[in-house]
Chain A
Amino acid sequence: MVWIRFILIQNRAGKTRLAKWYMQFDDDEKQKLIEEVHAVVTVRDAKHTNFVEFRNFKIIYRRYAGLYFCICVDVNDNNLAYLEAIHNFVEVLNEYFHNVCELDLVFNFYKVYTVVDEMFLAGEIRETSQTKVLKQLLMLQSLE
């Protein structure tokens, strides 16, 4: 069965800015995965593909400034669809935080989870329309 196993946002130094798990892992295992993903992703350059085999899965990743956005999926899943799902997510963050930067994700970490849940749920893509997601986020923002 195909679904996202986890989503990670890390900076070049390996600090995690978001970790969203769609599969049961214990805490040690999560830490190991975070380190391994960092190791495989940061050694690659722009001439490399945005895909890298990872254990029995693959990581689809894209780098934005100093941040790596990584999605772990099954090997036979659609690489480009997830690559653009990352970009779609980043555009939403950019709009929501008004020129998003790494610090926004640090200080508003609890809001980033809300953005993720609007766009990805249970390891599946939930909503892809930027307009719809932003409208919903604005509505939530107006609530107390």
Chain B
Amino acid sequence: MLRMASTFPEDVLEHVFSFIQCHQDRNSISMVCKSWYEIERWCRKRVFVGNCYAVSPQIVIRRFPDVRSVELKGKPHFADFSLVPDGWGGYVYPWILAMASAYPLLEEIRLKRMVVTDESLELISKSFKNFKVLVLMTCEGFSTDGLAAIAANCRHLKVLDLRESDVEDLNGHWLSHFPDTYTSLVSLNIACLVSEVSVSALERLVDRCPNLRTLRLNRPVPLDRHANLLRRAPQLVEFGAGCYTADLRSEVFSSLTGAFTSCTELKSLSGFWDVVPAYLPSVYPTCSQLTSLNLSYATIQCDDLTKLVSQCHNLQKLWVLDFIEDSGLEAVAVTCKDLRELRVFPSEPYGLEPNVSLTEQGLVSVSEGCPKLQSVLYFCRQMTNAALVTIARNRPNMTRFRLCILEPWTPDYVTGQALDVGFGAIVEYCKDLQRFSLSGLLTDRCFEYIGTYGKKLEMLSVAFAGESDLGLHHVLSGCDSLRKLEIRDCPFGDKALLANAAKLETMRSLWMSSCSVSFGACKLLAQKFPQLNVEVIDERDPPNTRPESCPVERLYIYRSVAGRRLDMPGFVWTMDGDAPLRLT
């Protein structure tokens, strides 16, 4: 058989590879054979590192000499729920330092849940002459000074996106550091900034950047300045409003309406803090063209919300507070036939009594009415097995399903039973389910369903569920595609973990907090599997001051080729296992 390698010139193969950009495919290519590995590594331009501690910057740089775009993720997902103490890690500085000399042509940095310092931002701004894209999702550790450095030095910056990051607001003048000659802005998202930015500086910036497509304002931008900004950028595709409150003035209202009308390309809206209902109709001109609507900060009540969504025939993504209620969701089901993603957030998550009429029925309606619905995040207070089975049958095309019943251990409110059958139905009918979050009263049975049917499941989040190690065992032994598993407050101990320890090397990470995994088991795992970093997070005294059978507070296990990390704070202990070769 003709060997392809012998007749196919390398540069042509490289040209073929240039049409393949997805990370998974690039990885597959690199594994085919020696020559493909070499060719691929020299022409790889984009690198994605799902866990910044799984590999070191030096290893990445050594393997891929000519990278233009890097994406890194740091803290585990449960950091979003304050389960990861401050100072845990996820520092990006070592990466920036290494890349500053190795990748002078770097153009894009995307970070998620990492600690970014002003020093890092300054280094970025000075090291990469061609720097274009900076996206910081749920990051922290930097201030507006760092942003000023980016603004001042990154001549070719196109994207500055601070999505949900925690920024120390030292002053609002950082925006003015964009020089007058700077005109390349395409996307600016400052919605997470708490204090005022200079709106005049913003206006001047918007004026001179004709390619601006995304502008997401922060809360303090007053409503009466919105129209001016919109008029300066009628080509906007995505807009995030600030505070939608002002005294009722007809000229402000008509100005806004006019401005929105002229934005004929607008497809996405977000923001809208503190909405005065009377101003809401000013966005109606955009409704029929909207594909994405994020009202998760908007305190708009049911009737107004319903009126709004009833005009959004082309909506594909809807994020909204539970003010929408079942009736609003019924309207969504009727109107938004193209809906792919729904997220309903709780307006009062800590309240004891429901403040709105949002039940399982809302989700059932949407599952019936929206044939393309694939991704759901739904917070509610009650659920039944019947509803879940219905949803599963309606939407076998579901790929992401996260249901959060606010009160732990809540059973099916009609039958009083556990919700095993309901969640089981989801995983059984939805054959392509990739992401799954459970809640409510669940026994080991539920996990048996997940292990049996969840063959494509990649990420599973579990809280206050299960009865014994068998539950964890089902998941670890059955879910072939599992990459990330996060567990809190479940009665899972050593047995399942140790029996399925080899599985952990096939996954990106495992998080377990407030479970029953013993210190001894952690040590054993580390001993058997040096390729895993077994980190114990314990804010009490060192775990070795207690008996080995004592459960650890929090456990984070991830595979790594970079070895143990060196930047751990005092409350994180990496297990080495018992080493017969102790050299002291």
Q: Do A and B interact with each other, yes or no?
A: no
Task: Report A's interface with B, CB cutoff 8 A.
Answer: none
- List chain B positions with a Cβ less than 8 A from chain A: none
